Amino acid sequence: MLIPDNLFYTKDHEWVKIDGDNAIIGITDFAQSLLGDVTFIDLPKIGLIIKQTKPCATVESVKAASDVYAPLSGEVLKTNNELTSHPELVNKSPYESGWFAVIKMADETEKNLLMAPAQYKAYIESSQKK
Amino acid sequence: MQLIFEKSRVGRRGFQLPETDVPEAFALPDKYCRKIKACLPEVSELDVVRHFSNLSSRNFSVDTNFYPLGSCTMKYNPKFTEKIAVMPGFADLHPLLPQLLGGGMLAQGALEVLYHMERLLSEITGMAEFTVQPLAGAHGELTGVMLIAAYHKNNSSLKKHIIIPDSSHGTNPASAAIAGYDVVVVPTDKDGFLDMQAYKKALNQETAAVMLTCPDTLGLFNSKIKEIADLAHSVGALMYYDGANLNAILGKCRPGDIGFDVIHLNLHKTFATPHGGGGPGAGPVGVCEKLVDFLPVSRVIRRIDGTFALDYRRHKSIGYIAPFYGNFAVILKAYSYILMLGKSGLIEASENAVLSANYCLARLKDYYKPAYDKICMHECVLSASRQLEQGVRALDIAKYLIDKGFHPPTIYFPLIVKEAIMIEPTETESKETLDVFIDVMIEAALLAKTNPSALHLAPLTMPIGRLDETKAAREPNLRWQP
């Protein structure tokens, strides 16, 4: 299970990469492995204001359709159009070419609600045991 | 098997037009002529008959095999209901008739069926009134949420969201959202029930309703249901009952008695009308006293002289939600089913549905991990998590069952159970049928240990082997193209 060191994580298995005032978001390797083959992704519209913990995108896999929750609040600046024609990128490369969107962060302090890599690793392990 | 298009031969026909005995009219103007050929198959009548007869023999249904598709209640549809639905007195009625002057008197039988059906459903569920108009379960849900919205609006109370458990049917959040509410999802606790702490936290003055199934999607009856309802009512929220699982509790407990305010039923589940397949459904909605005024028009009423008529004078009504009075023939079939079984028959149906599910659970739980190891209601949820250690997924077991002549149970639902296998045998299956099915499930569990690759290859006996579901979803190719 890949959990890169330079990212932050949520309980709902989204990742965030902080890049100055902006944040790149996506879903984790753990999330994609649970979902199975991703078949369709509904990305947020550019310019949309998204709110932390509220749904901001939908991922459909052969098993189910699932909401993706915004890990941070902010305005959507850019989305990964490649995912429209190649949803499998989320399975193949969840942290690189499978990114979802770039947002302009509205509130830096929201970062405090995210998990560090070690914390996220422990969180997955404890949820696995259940 | 070839597609009918592939059987096409230029000039072959299944009919002969009579020779024309009138002079040919002018040619169609060019702008009305199609530019691209219609590419209809050119085949003989015999080609068509054979093609569709062969296709139909590949059909899988409750009439041919065991169909334990959990959450869907694929119960057998007794044939007498079909006979009643085609009786000319019903089948030949024009739906406009009761709306015409004096026409109501010519449709008294049909109006009585609608009126009496609403009374029966009210009695069975403990609600004050019913409408049988909604055309399907999801349509009933939307109608129910619209009734909730109309009620709150009428009370001028500002309500914003609907609480839904994470084990719910996908239609619940969809209905809530389409009716204009936000959806607040509450997780399930370790015992498989609504997490009460999270529920209390989510519940506030802005809660319009709480949508639940009981027994829930895990096939468990929530003993805290009364407390949940009382808490909802204390903040002015209404309780919505998704009737998907009513088959488990007929005559045992009534949603209206435990505090539910709105309920929709799927007649095809509990009352044995045919399942969709694109065909007509019915999703009647029942309400408690305080919501009666908002029910859709028209309402069937009984006049003092005992005759039946349509009533449109309901100024608080949410209005029309369906043409005419719903899918009448479906309502009629369910009505016949209820009358044929009677009170004791319906209770027995529920008891046997629950018994069948518990029998499956008891015999299978040594082989598959039960999602929650306790007495279940009309369906049981197992997990293929043990099998997953050998690389065998719920999907592989489902495909293996196809080879053995069974429709697979529901898999990967509810979403909160890893590698879920959801079995709902229904009341009509014999112990012998259940035993054969269970033996095959056990066989699959043993194969998962000894020869997992055998399961990965299934199905082997079908006209088509394992389908690439990912490719089908990513690159759907839904129609023949020349």
Q: How does pLDDT run across B434-471, given as a tens digit for each residue?
A: 999 999 999 999 999 999 999 999 999 998 899 888 88
pLDDT for residue B251 is more than 90: yes
Q: How does pLDDT run across A49-73, given as a tens digit for each residue?
A: 999 999 999 999 987 888 899 999 9
DSSP code of B407? P
Residues in chain B: 482
SS (H, E, C) chain A: CCCCCCCEECCCCEEEEEECCEEEEEECHHHHHHHCCEEEEECCCCCCEECCCCEEEEEEECCCEEEEECCCCEEEEEECCHHHHCCCHHHHCCCCCCCCEEEEECCHHHHHHCECHHHHHHHHHHHHHC
Q: Is the pTM of this model over 0.80?
A: yes
pLDDT for residue A130 is more than 60: no
CB pairs under 8 A between A and B: 23
pLDDT at B15: 86
CA angle B473, B478, B481 (to 5 degrees): 135
Measured CA to CA in angstroms, residue B366 lies from B103, B344, B445 at distances of 63, 34, 10
pLDDT at B429: 96
Among B17-31, B41-55, B282-296, B444-458, name the one with the lowest average pLDDT. B17-31
ipTM for the whole complex: 0.72
The mean of the pLDDT values for chain B is 94
pLDDT for residue B278 is more than 80: no
Instruction: Choose between B217 and A14: higher pLDDT.
Output: A14
pLDDT at A63: 79
pLDDT for residue B31 is more than 80: yes
C-beta atoms of A64 and B413 within 8 A? yes
Chain A residues with CB under 8 Å of B170 CB are: 65
A90: its two tokens:
């989320």
Among residues A23, A45, A26, A47, which one has the least CA distance to residue A35?
A26
C-alpha span between B302 and B308 (Å, rounded): 5
Contact criterion met (CB below 8 Å) for B4 and B48: yes
Pairing between β-strand A101-105 and β-strand A74-79 as defined by DSSP bridges: antiparallel
Q: Closest partner residue to B470 among A39, A64, A66, by Cβ?
A: A39
Domains and CATH numbers, chain B: 4-56 (no CATH), 82-339 (3.40.640.10)
C-beta atoms of A65 and B190 within 8 A? no
C-beta atoms of B190 and A39 within 8 A? no
Burial B142-181 (b: 16+ CB within 10 A, else e): bbbbbbbbbbbeeeeeebebbbbbbbbbebbbebbeebeb
Region of residue B277 (left: phi > 0; alpha: psi -120 to 50; beta: else)? left
Q: How does pLDDT run across B151-202, given as a tens digit for each residue?
A: 999 999 999 999 999 888 889 999 999 999 999 999 999 888 999 999 999 9
| Any B CB within 8 A of A28 CB | no
Among A23-27, B71-75, B277-281, B416-420, name the one with the lowest average pLDDT. B277-281
A129 falls in which pLDDT band (50, 70, 90)?
Answer: low
C-beta atoms of A88 and B474 within 8 A? yes
| Any B CB within 8 A of A66 CB | yes
Which residues fall within 8 angstroms of residue B18, CB to CB, at 6 or more apart?
Answer: none
Among residues A15, A42, A11, which one has the least CA distance to residue A26?
A15
| CB-count exposure of residue B61 (10 Å: 0-12, 13-18, 19+) | middle
pLDDT for residue B276 is more than 80: no
C-beta atoms of A65 and B412 within 8 A? no
pLDDT at A105: 95
| CB-count exposure of residue A107 (10 Å: 0-12, 13-18, 19+) | exposed
pLDDT at B280: 84
Among A60-69, A98-107, B90-99, name the one with the lowest average pLDDT. A60-69
The residue-averaged pLDDT of B358-365 equals: 97
pLDDT at B277: 61
